[in-house]
């Protein structure tokens, strides 16, 4: 009798679980969709703001086109993937008059004050193909000049494009900031997840 | 009429109509299946081509047609390309004897059921040829599974159909439908509930649909028998699969759900047939997107240990009752 | 007829030839992988089948070898942390922790208390994503398409939470020697607090849809027995070992960090089959929720203490010596062994991947089962192929 119960009755009763499964999928069939139709809808900005895209420079509060960067090379030396390239600015080449002046000053025994090289970098490029987005550059930046961008829609068609000139990007952003941003057509998707 | 017998004209029209019906159904069903699956999984499914992605199956068909027909190295070219054709042609024949409406019957044959059962087994042969001819080990495994599966599931299917024809005393599908005219309780499903259940399960097995899609089983056998097929070779198998589904569901609705008759008298018409067929089709799709795949030995166990004895019992009981 | 008639090409590669040497009569040798849909990437298993029955099988590794251990010998100590996120994309936080913990042990660093709690919270959340990924993919292997979408629905919410403190969604590398990279903000904590009851509500649905399902139960119950003895021989850990009835969990047995402060159970199953491993993992998700809840309650409010003051720079120089640190990952015991010669780069980094040991039990467990069972066993081991090869 026990064997009969185990081998015959129980499997028939267990078939109920199949109906339960159908019920669940049927229930979700009737519920609203939860995906985001990308070109027509976009992810809400709250979520987007926490997204860590590629690394970008932060501008000075007063001059958004000028990075806070002081060319200390901390990011470049600490980068595990060697994806950052920074070229420091050289001191301006002295004109002949200046040179004469300095020479004269040196003869007089005065201290020569040569103009220092500007601190902001001459060139700051970043190879996105190499970057592992670990954030080491960001936390090691003494001037807090680096951050993750929220640029989730970034695409490139070639490797060359993946090599981003961060200074040019900062300038672009600065001009965009001053000009009114183009209106985004797509609405943010309504978060309809049931709690 | 010019010496051409009327029946021949009728047949040609029916064949063409069956072909169109098949192609149309395949397109609609692919779309429905993908949409249905999408909504079950809470995503939109195809959406970009046409309004709500309605043209997606058409474009997919075009894509398949524009692809290269590739015969694998060391494959038996003749068998390899015979298989999809062999899988496609019997499907059209399946539609011939099915009464879709009072006059919408392709071919009035007294042995309609027999014809359908005979031709529906052709799919098994096509699958074997495809698996064997493509010189692929996964294909052979898929074909071997398909043989055992189609042979096994044919038997309970036959037995349930037999019990219906015992009851109705005919193999003519139009007559079986005619006997179910009247109210909803005149349908055969109330007289043969067990047979209906067995038929549904056997239908899944016979059409190689999930959870019984062992011949293709993509997570086990990559794609089973059609691993090596490209372009319309795959397309034909695909269409044939949907064709078999439509055919089986149509037969099921004729046998058990009163065919083109509505739930009460006076409203019969082909649309009832359509509604019933598609309701059954949706059940199949629904099951596919819910259940895991059964294992091969379990599939055969289910058949030989459950369906076959039950179907035999049902047949004997029917025979006994009919005798009394 | 074609170029393929060339017999040299038909011979197969080294592994196939070696495997073929022991072939019986009337059997078929098939290559499952490296492009098989249910080997989750590029694991290759050479299988000898007699009909559908597996006579013997042999996993072939190396298709995803990225020399992480060698890279450890060239990177700076801090620069190796991003690699740990890539070893195992399923549960990268635990790998982060294992490495960072080993370096901290070597340098004798005490991590601030808040940082410990943050590590626990993030690792457990990550364990949930890991198990959800496994759950969906396993059911997908068994032929059901829908559950993975439901699992990813919840997983997506977790990723949204985890992207706040780590700025990434998959390969996290936000642990640092001395703490974690970023603090969890209030919004993030609130999201976690709302997620826990939401997920508790969802779990019964998972059980109804999948665990209780007749077909699934028949597929996994009694399939692929890996018992305690086998686990010992192969060095299986994690849910595989717990599925064999051994209550071994690094979090309890060798408590590291602050795991001794939490009250949680180690789910075990005595059946030692795929179903046992399945149930262990599902039960572990609930236990992870419990740990997160307790950690949120006890979380010290000291803001900005997510990393110790004067945390070592990436170019740190730990004293010469060696250290081993083990944590409990989603797949088992993750061990990292580091040797320092006092320079800026590690002398040696040895990674002990749990998946590697677990996978080796496959050949024995799969013997005599049928091909569909092989998929069920392979899935139940929860293999992440990048982790096997490292």
What pLDDT digit, counting tens, does each position of B151-183 carry?
888 888 888 888 888 888 877 777 777 777 777
Note if the bond before C34 is cis, omega within 30 degrees: yes
Q: C209 to chain B, minimum CA–CA distance in Å?
A: 8
Q: Where are the domains of chain A?
A: 1-31, 38-91+120-188
Q: Which chains lie within 8 Å of chain C at 3 or more CB pairs, if any?
A: A, B
- C159 and C248 belong to one structural domain: yes
Answer yes or no: is pLDDT of A176 > 50.
yes
* Residue C31, H or E segment: strand C28-32
Q: In terms of CATH architecture, what is A38-91+120-188?
A: 2-Layer Sandwich (3.30)
Nearest to C82 among A25, A132, A148 (CB): A132
- Tell me which chain B residues have a C-beta less than 8 angstroms from the C-beta of A14: none
* Cβ proximity of B81 and B117 under 8 Å: no
Are B149 and B205 in contact, with CB atoms under 8 Å apart? yes
- Peptide bond just before B65 cis, omega within 30 deg: no
Interchain CB distance below 8 Å, C371 and B220 = yes
Range B99-108 average pLDDT: 70
Contact (Cβ atoms closer than 8 angstroms) between residue C218 and residue B294: yes
ipTM: 0.81
Q: Do the chains contact at B37 and C145, CB–CB below 8 Å?
A: yes
Name the band, by pLDDT with cuts 50, 70 and 90, for residue B235: confident
**Do residues C303 and C217 share a domain?**
yes
Read off the tokens for B58. Answer: 């058409």
Are C150 and C270 found together in one domain?
A: yes
Query: What mean pLDDT is reported for chain C?
Result: 84
Q: How many domains does chain C have?
A: 2
The reported pLDDT for the residue numbered C19 is 77
For C209, the closest chain B residue by CA position comes to B290
Q: What's the token pair of residue B115? A: 């014809």
Cβ <8 Å between C157 and A24: no
Q: Tell me B208's DSSP state.
A: T
Distance from CA of A19 to the nearest CA of B (A): 10
Q: Is C381 on the interface with B (CB under 8 A)?
A: no
Distance in angstroms (rounded) separating the CA atoms of residues C76 and C82 = 11
Based on the fold, state whether residues C46 and C137 are members of the same structural domain. no
Exposed/middle/buried for A111, CB within 10 Å: 0-12, 13-18, 19+?
A: exposed
CATH number where C301 lies: 1.10.645.10
Residues C183 and C320 in one domain: yes
Same domain, residue pair C28 and C168: no
Q: Using the 3D structure, point to which of C22, C41, C60 is the last residue of a domain.
A: C60
Least CA distance to A37: which residue of chain B? Answer: B44
In-domain check, residue C370 = no
* C384 in any annotated domain: no
Min distance B260 CA to chain C CA atoms (Å): 34
Domain range for C8 is 3-60
Whether the CB-CB separation of A89 and A66 falls below 8 Å is answered with no
Q: With an 8 Å Cβ cutoff, are C164 and A195 in contact?
A: no
Residue C5: pLDDT band with limits 50, 70, 90: low
C307 and C269 in a single domain? The answer is yes
- Both C148 and C247 in one domain: the answer is yes
**Which of C214, C215, C219, C306 is the best substitution to test chain A (most A C-beta atoms within 10 A)?**
C214
Q: Is A47 on the interface with C (CB under 8 A)?
A: yes
Distance between CA atoms of residues C272 and C276, nearest Å: 6
Contact A17 C181 (CB under 8 A): no
Q: Is the same domain home to C141 and C249?
A: yes
Is residue C54 located within the same domain as residue C91?
no
pLDDT bin (cut points 50, 70, 90) of residue C7 is: low
CB contacts of A31 in chain B (<8 Å) are 42
- Pair (C213, C129) in one structural domain: yes
Chain C residues near any Cβ of chain A (below 8 Å): 75-76, 78-83, 85-86, 146, 150, 153, 157, 160, 163-164, 166-168, 171, 173-174, 176, 181-182, 194, 197-198, 205, 208-210, 212-215, 217, 313-315
Whether residue C389 is contained in a domain is answered as: no
C313–A193 CB contact, under 8 Å? no
SS3 C34: coil
Cα-based torsion angle of the residue sequence C378, A22, C269, C197 in order, rounded to the nearest 10 degrees:
110
Confidence (pTM): 0.85
A195, pLDDT greater than 50: no
Contacts of B21 (CB under 8 A, 6+ apart): B95
A111 in reach of chain C (CB within 8 A): no
The size of chain A, in residues, is: 195
Q: Is residue C186 located within the same domain as residue C268?
A: yes
**Residue B17: burial class (beta carbons within 10 Å; 0-12, 13-18, 19+):** middle
The predicted model gives B134-153 an average pLDDT of 84
């Amino acid at each position: 009798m026990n064997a009969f119960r185990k081998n015959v009755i129980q499997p028939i009763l267990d078939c109920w679980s199949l109906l339960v499964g159908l019920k669940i999928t049927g229930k979700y069939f009737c519920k609203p969709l939860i995906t985001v139709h990308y070109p027509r809808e976009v992810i809400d900005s709250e979520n987007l703001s926490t997204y860590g895209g590629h690394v970008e420079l932060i501008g000075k509060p007063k001059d958004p086109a000028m990075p806070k960067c002081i060319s200390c090379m901390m990011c470049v030396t600490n980068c595990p993937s060697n994806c950052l390239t920074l070229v420091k600015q050289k001191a301006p080449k002295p004109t002949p008059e200046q040179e004469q002046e300095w020479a004269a000053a040196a003869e007089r025994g005065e201290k020569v004050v040569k103009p220092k090289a500007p601190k902001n970098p001459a060139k700051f490029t970043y190879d996105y193909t190499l970057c592992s987005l670990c954030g080491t550059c960001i936390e090691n930046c003494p001037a807090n000049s680096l951050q993750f961008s929220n640029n989730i829609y970034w695409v490139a068609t070639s490797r060359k494009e993946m090599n981003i000139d961060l200074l040019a990007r900062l300038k672009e952003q600065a001009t965009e900031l001053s000009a009114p941003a183009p209106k985004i057509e797509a609405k943010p998707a309504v978060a309809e997840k049931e709690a | 009429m010019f010496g051409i017998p009327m029946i021949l004209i009728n047949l040609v029209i029916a064949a063409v109509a069956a072909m169109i019906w098949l192609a149309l159904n395949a397109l609609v069903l692919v779309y429905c299946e993908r949409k249905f699956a999408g909504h079950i999984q809470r995503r939109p499914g195809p959406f970009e081509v046409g309004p709500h992605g309605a043209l997606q199956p058409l474009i997919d068909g075009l894509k398949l047609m524009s692809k290269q027909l590739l015969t694998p190295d060391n494959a038996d070219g003749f068998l390899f390309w015979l298989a999809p054709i062999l899988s496609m042609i019997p499907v059209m024949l399946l539609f011939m004897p099915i009464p879709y409406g009072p006059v919408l019957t392709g071919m009035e044959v007294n042995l309609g059921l027999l014809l359908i059962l005979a031709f529906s087994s052709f799919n098994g042969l096509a699958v074997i040829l495809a698996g064997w001819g493509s010189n692929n080990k996964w294909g052979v495994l898929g074909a071997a599974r398909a043989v055992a599966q189609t042979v096994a599931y044919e038997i309970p299917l036959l037995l349930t159909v037999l019990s219906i024809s015992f009851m109705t005393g005919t193999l003519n599908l139009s007559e079986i439908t005619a006997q179910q005219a009247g109210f909803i309780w005149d349908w055969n499903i109330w007289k043969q509930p067990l047979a209906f259940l067995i038929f549904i399960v056997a239908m899944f097995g016979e059409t190689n649909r999930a959870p019984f899609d062992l011949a293709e089983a993509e997570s086990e056998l990559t794609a089973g028998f059609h691993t090596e097929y490209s372009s319309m070779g795959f397309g034909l198998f695909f269409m044939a699969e949907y064709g078999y589904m439509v055919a089986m569901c149509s037969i099921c609705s004729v046998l058990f759900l009163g065919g083109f008759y509505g739930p009460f008298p006076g409203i019969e018409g082909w649309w009832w047939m359509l509604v019933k067929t598609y309701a059954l089709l949706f059940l199949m799709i629904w099951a596919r997107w819910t259940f895991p795949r059964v294992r091969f030995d379990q599939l055969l166990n289910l058949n030989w240990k459950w369906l076959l004895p039950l179907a035999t019992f049902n047949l004997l009981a029917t025979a006994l009752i009919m005798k009394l | 007829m074609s170029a393929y008639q060339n017999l040299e090409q038909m011979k197969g590669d080294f592994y196939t030839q070696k495997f073929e040497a022991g072939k019986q009569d009337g059997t078929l040798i098939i290559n499952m992988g490296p492009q098989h849909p249910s080997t989750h990437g590029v694991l290759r298993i050479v299988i000898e089948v007699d009909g559908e029955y597996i006579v013997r099988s042999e996993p072939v590794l190396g298709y995803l070898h990225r020399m992480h251990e060698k890279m450890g010998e060239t990177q700076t100590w801090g620069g190796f942390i991003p690699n740990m996120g890539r070893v195992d994309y399923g549960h990268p936080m635990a790998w982060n922790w294992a490495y960072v913990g080993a370096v901290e042990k070597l340098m004798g660093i005490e991590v601030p208390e808040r940082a410990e709690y943050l590590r626990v919270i993030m690792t457990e959340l990550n364990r949930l994503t890991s198990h959800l990924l496994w759950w969906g993919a396993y059911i997908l292997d068994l032929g059901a398409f829908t559950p993975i979408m439901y699992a990813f629905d919840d997983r997506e919410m977790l990723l949204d939470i985890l992207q706040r403190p780590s700025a990434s969604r998959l390969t996290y590398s936000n642990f640092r020697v001395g703490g974690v990279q970023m603090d969890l903000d209030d919004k993030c904590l609130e999201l976690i607090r709302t997620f826990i009851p939401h997920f508790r509500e969802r779990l019964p649905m998972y059980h109804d849809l999948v665990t209780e399902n007749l077909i699934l139960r028949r597929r996994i119950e009694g399939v692929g027995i890996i018992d305690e003895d086998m686990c010992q021989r192969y060095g299986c850990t994690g849910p595989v070992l717990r599925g064999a009835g051994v209550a071994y969990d690094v979090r309890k047995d060798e408590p590291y960090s602050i795991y001794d402060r939490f009250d949680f159970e180690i789910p075990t199953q005595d059946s030692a089959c795929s179903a046992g491993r399945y149930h262990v993992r599902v039960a572990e998700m609930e236990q992870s929720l419990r740990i997160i809840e307790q950690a949120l309650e006890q979380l010290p409010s000291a803001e900005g203490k997510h990393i110790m003051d004067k945390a070592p720079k990436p170019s740190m120089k730990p004293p010469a010596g060696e250290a081993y640190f083990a944590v409990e990952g989603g797949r088992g015991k993750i061990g990292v062994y580091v040797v320092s010669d006092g320079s800026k780069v590690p002398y040696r980094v040895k990674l002990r991947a749990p998946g590697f040991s677990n996978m080796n039990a496959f050949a024995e467990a799969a013997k005599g089962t049928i091909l569909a069972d092989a998929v069920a066993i392979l899935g139940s081991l929860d293999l992440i192929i990048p982790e096997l090869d490292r």
